[in-house]
Chains A and B, each alone.
Chain A
Amino acid sequence: MKLLVVEDEARVASFLDKGLRANGYDVEWARSGQEALHRAAQPDISLVILDLGLPDLDGLDVLEGLRAGGSPVPVLVLSARGSMHDRVRGLDLGADDYLGKPFAFQELLARVRANLRPRADAGPSCCAPAASAWICCAAK
């Protein structure tokens, strides 16, 4: 199961990569917002871990772009902007979860698991909205 880590700070990305791999996930790293937008739309990504402070785009813009393109991929925002206002804004813009930095790695893992869990009310495992070229296979 492949997770996309969108994080410009190499030292944060490196421990995320190490810890997630140690827990059986495949990890891909995107350093910029543009790279993230391109990569997150691929069907092999099961979950995106998104930092908000990126060098080119704001993380929330990435989130908006992703949702505007019809991508249903779960997005877990990971940010030092952890105020209530920021969390509400992130969730309203389409994030599935929001975790403030610094965080306990166990909690991150639990949230990743929760967001990857198949839901009883989930629709068909394959969807193809007519308005976009997006095709996803929720192979969870």
Chain B
Amino acid sequence: MTAREPLRAPCSSYSWVTRWDGWDGALTVRQLPATPPASQRLAPSAGYSSRTRDSATWPARGPRAGSPIRGRCGRAGHGGGLLLNGRAPGLRRLFGRLAAMFYAGSGLLGLALLPLPTPGADGAAVAAVYATAVIIGITLWLAPWERWPRPASLAIVPPAFALIALRNVYGGQDLQLYGVFFVVAFVWIGMAHPQRTSAAMVPLAAAAYILPLSALPGGIEAGLPSAALTIPVCLLVGEGLAWGMSRLEGIELALRRERDRTEHLRELDEMKDRFLSAVSHELLTPITICRGHLEVLDETAGDQDLRDIRGMLVEELDIMGRVVEDLTTLARADDAAFLKVESLPLDRFMTCVAAKAGTILPGRVLVQPAAPGETLRADPQRLAQALVNLLQNAARHARGQEPVRLGVQAEPASWRFEVADEGGGLPPGDEQAMFEPFSTGGSRDSGTGLGLWIVRGIARAHGGECGVVNRPGRGATFWIRIPR
């Protein structure tokens, strides 16, 4: 639930909705898990600059090219969690107008019923009360509800109670009519406000109910049985409605979350398709080469030709083998068993990596020895594999005999391993694309295009991260950060 936790926070009492799109609610939601699922890490970023051999394959040319993520739950510019606050103003207006209708409707109904005979009533005063209710209703209809916070609308409740009390003072001995307007007020409170608001309004309603009774013949005692029935009914109506509304809200949120999840899965599916297309392309080229050379092989070919072709076929098969091997490594990166983490002396680990570096870049690696006595918690084989990948990458791009620096630095909570080359750096903007699959920088001499992707997989499996500091025109420093 951690990834979805942001959903809960804004759903407190006043979170109702943020944009009202009609009662059937086409709800636009922006929500994103805080941590993308592991499978998403396989996917290319939207901004991936295609530089593979068949450059337009990945990402696909055509309708699917460009940003792979264009869904209703649009990822761009999300602020984390549901944007509930953006939907609230519409609903505040809706309930404000509902209150206006209750005010004006009750007033008009009262005015319409005035001609009916009521013993002891002060007709002019009652008419004034009803007329006031109509005027307040019209004012509320026009009020800028969107701009007011939801609790502020409770300010219209005391005037409603006051009007009801006045109507009861001047309305004669008609106790049957007493409770009706209170129920209407609590219907509105229950719909427009969260649970327990009705309970909070009960003392006010009780006072507005009971005090006018003292002005009537028979006094308070005559009205108490009616009050004892009406006020609890109001409480039940208000709280019942508020409970129902909160249930609806919960269902609505759950539906929206499901819709988001489905959308997210669809996006992952598309990414998977594109990835498979790129993988198949990487394997099709060596197959084409092998098949083509064998097909055009002349039966009378000389020994040298045969040797050349055999060497080429072996190399191409090697490439295919490495692609498959790299993919297998990455496919396992999400398994718990991928890493065999142990504690080991940092300096000894760096000595081992330095020895491997010497075979990749003979005489060109400057190793900064690690301070003795420090301990590293990592899978030594996987971490060494990641650093070897960085060294191989440096070996491909370093110019001439420029040295490549390998080192490790202590950070407050992590170790930062660095491989710095003087290979002229990356084209600005390509820094992140380097870690995407099949970003071989344009030629097959640059390896399978999966090396840096594996580096990222290994770093993340350790709970760390990796990146590159680009020095355009001079070189690049690739780094891996592993938590201590």
Chain A contacts to B: CB under 8 angstroms: 8-9, 11-12, 14-16, 18-19, 22, 51-55, 58-60, 79-81, 83, 85-86, 89, 101-106
Cβ-defined contact, B52 with A19, below 8 A: no
Cβ-defined contact, A101 with B285, below 8 A: yes
Give the residue of B56, B296, B298 whose beta carbon is less than 8 angstroms from that of A52.
B56
Interface size class of B (residues with CB under 8 A): 20 to 34
Shortest CB-to-CB span from B135 to chain A, Å, is 67
Cβ-defined contact, B292 with A9, below 8 A: no
Asked if A52 meets B54 with Cβ closer than 8 Å, knowing A11-B316, A80-B285, A101-B284, the reply is yes
Hey, which chain B residues are within 8 Å of A106, CB to CB? 295
Shortest CB-to-CB span from A23 to chain B, Å, is 9
Asked if A9 meets B296 with Cβ closer than 8 Å, knowing A80-B288, A102-B287, the reply is no
Bitwise, B259-290 to A at CB < 8 A (1) or not (0) is 00000000000000000010011001101110
Cβ-defined contact, A12 with B54, below 8 A: no
Hey, which chain B residues are within 8 Å of A80, CB to CB? 54, 57, 280-281, 284-285, 288
Residue B70, interface by CB 8 Å: no
Interface residues of B in 275-327 (CB under 8 A from A): 277, 280-281, 284-285, 287-289, 291-293, 295-296, 298, 312, 316
Cβ-defined contact, A103 with B54, below 8 A: no
Residue B8, interface by CB 8 Å: no
Shortest CB-to-CB span from B125 to chain A, Å, is 80
Write the chain B residue with the least CB distance to A81.
Answer: B57
Residue B442, interface by CB 8 Å: yes
Hey, which chain A residues are within 8 Å of B287, CB to CB? 101-102
Hey, which chain B residues are within 8 Å of A19, CB to CB? 292, 295-296
Hey, which chain A residues are within 8 Å of B281, CB to CB? 80-81
Chain B contacts to A: CB under 8 angstroms: 52-57, 61-62, 277, 280-281, 284-285, 287-289, 291-293, 295-296, 298, 312, 316, 442-444
A107 to B280, CA, bound (A): 22
Besides A51-B54, A52-B54, A105-B292, 19 more A-B contacts (Cβ < 8 Å) are: A9-B53, A9-B444, A11-B289, A11-B293, A12-B289, A14-B293, A15-B295, A16-B292, A19-B295, A53-B53, A55-B55, A60-B61, A80-B280, A80-B285, A81-B281, A86-B61, A89-B62, A102-B291, A103-B288
Hey, which chain A residues are within 8 Å of B62, CB to CB? 85-86, 89
Shortest CB-to-CB span from B440 to chain A, Å, is 11
Write the chain A residue with the least CB distance to B287.
Answer: A102
Cβ-defined contact, A105 with B53, below 8 A: no
Asked if A89 meets B291 with Cβ closer than 8 Å, knowing A15-B296, A52-B54, the reply is no
A104 to B312, CA, bound (A): 19
A15 to B57, CA, bound (A): 23
Hey, which chain B residues are within 8 Å of A53, CB to CB? 52-57
Hey, which chain A residues are within 8 Å of B280, CB to CB? 80
A101 to B443, CA, bound (A): 18
Hey, which chain A residues are within 8 Å of B289, CB to CB? 9, 11-12, 15
Cβ-defined contact, B293 with A15, below 8 A: yes
Shortest CB-to-CB span from B65 to chain A, Å, is 11
Hey, which chain B residues are within 8 Å of A85, CB to CB? 62
